[in-house]
Amino acid sequence: MTLLAWGVAWLLDFIIGDPQNWPHPVRWIGNLISSVQRLVRRYCHSERALRIGGAVMWVLVVGVTWGVSWGVLTLATMIHPWFGWLVEVWMIFTVLAGRCLANAAMEVERPLRAGNLAESREKLAWIVGRDTSQLQPDQINRAVVETVAENTVDGIIAPLFFLLIGGAPLAMAYKAVNTLDSMVGYKHEKYRAIGMVSARLDDVANYLPARLSWLLLSLAAILCRQDGARALQIGWRDRYNHSSPNCAWSEACVAGALGIRLGGPNNYFGQRVEKPWIGDARRDISVDDISQTIRLMWVASTLALALFMVAHWLVVGAA
């Protein structure tokens, strides 16, 4: 039943993703974060107080998410085992973001192929934090490839990893951790204090999944007839070429597989941010690299699902 739920949820994400008008727990988590953040800012004004308030916010949001998820799943199972199974499938389906990530990347890719640079920049601004208004085609391609590579970890591999460890409630709690980081985990003035705990604990949560992604994406590169050996090599060599302790693992792996260079300087919130380069420019990056990265993402996520299903079966079988 459990493994069947995992497989069905993954297939649902692959086929339909996140329809815009469907209820989604991440939106509810986002609303909770916004409400708690307003409360924290009302009573916390110094940097130290904002850090403490940010820590309380993290505990509250993650705790409520896990508790509600566990309670709903337990209640549904008590009503009927099959109803509980359906709720479990829905929860797992909602924490996976592969189809949404692929669709968002293709939304940028389509106008770029058609030569509509303005629309491509506009669509890119929906999925990245950098200034897109002046980006040229090669910079747009680079931004999309980086986004897909990075989010392969927190959008698919990490949720599956926490699903293996603690079932659907823990996967939902991870999604709360990730949503907190995406909403308040910034280093600029407004969020530096209140988001410090959220940013650091997101790094902790993604530590193992990011390193697993290096191996899974390297194997995916071989299966996709890309340079798997170089993916493994560059993933290891450039694993620290990022301000995040986790992001460069998947980005460097993809850069090595495709023979392109990622990273480099970008503009964020009006500020120029110098970043090290990731990978080697064995050739110029192109729009085709977007679809190639999406393919690597899907293959790596399939491998992750298979790996974690086998691990669960071995553990449960041994017990």
**How far, in Å, CA of 156 to CA of 95, rounded?**
8
Q: What is the DSSP string of 126-151?
A: TT-SB--TT--HHHHHHHHHHHHHHH
Q: What is the pLDDT of residue 317?
A: 62
Question: What's the confidence (pLDDT) of residue 1?
Answer: 66
Which stretch of DSSP H or E encloses residue 272?
strand 271-273
Do the strands 277-278 and 262-263 form a parallel or antiparallel pair, or are they unpaired?
antiparallel
Q: Whole-prediction pTM value?
A: 0.94
Residue 129, pLDDT score: 76
pLDDT for 34: 95
User: How high is the pLDDT of residue 319?
Assistant: 54
Q: State how far the Cα of 144 lies from the Cα of 128, in Å rounded to an integer.
A: 8
* Tokens representing residue 146 in the block: 């980086």
The H or E element spanning position 105 is helix 98-113
Lookup result for tokens 């403490």: 52
Furthest C-alpha separation in the chain = 59
pLDDT value for 95: 95
Q: For residue 279, give both structure tokens.
A: 């990978």
pLDDT score for 243: 85
In the chain, helix, strand, coil percent, each to 5?
75, 5, 25
pLDDT of residue 269: 57
DSSP 173-228: HHHHHHHHHHHH---STTTTTTTHHHHHHHHHHTHHHHHHHHHHHHHHHHHTTS-H
Q: Which of 111, 212, 234 is nearest to 157 (CA)?
A: 212
Tokens (6 digits) for 276: 């090290």
Q: Is residue 22 exposed (0-12), middle (13-18) or buried (19+ Cβ within 10 Å)? A: exposed
Give the list of residues 6+ apart from residue 114 with CB closer than 8 angstroms, or none: none
Q: Are 24 and 90 in contact (CB under 8 A)?
A: no
Per-residue pLDDT of the chain (319 residues), as tens digits, is 688 999 999 999 999 988 777 778 889 999 999 999 999 999 988 999 999 999 999 999 999 999 999 999 999 999 999 999 999 999 999 999 999 999 999 999 999 999 999 999 999 999 887 778 888 999 999 999 999 999 999 999 999 999 999 999 999 999 999 999 999 988 777 889 999 999 999 999 999 999 999 999 999 999 999 999 999 999 999 999 988 899 999 999 999 999 999 988 776 656 666 788 999 999 999 999 999 999 999 999 999 999 999 998 888 765 5
Residue type, position 265, single letter:
P
| Amino acid 230: pLDDT | 97
pLDDT reported for residue 134:
82
Indicate if the alpha-carbon torsion angle 12, 13, 17, 22 is positive or negative. Answer: positive
Structure tokens at 123: 């669509």
**Cα–Cα distance measured from residue 143 to residue 125, given in angstroms and rounded to the nearest whole number:** 10
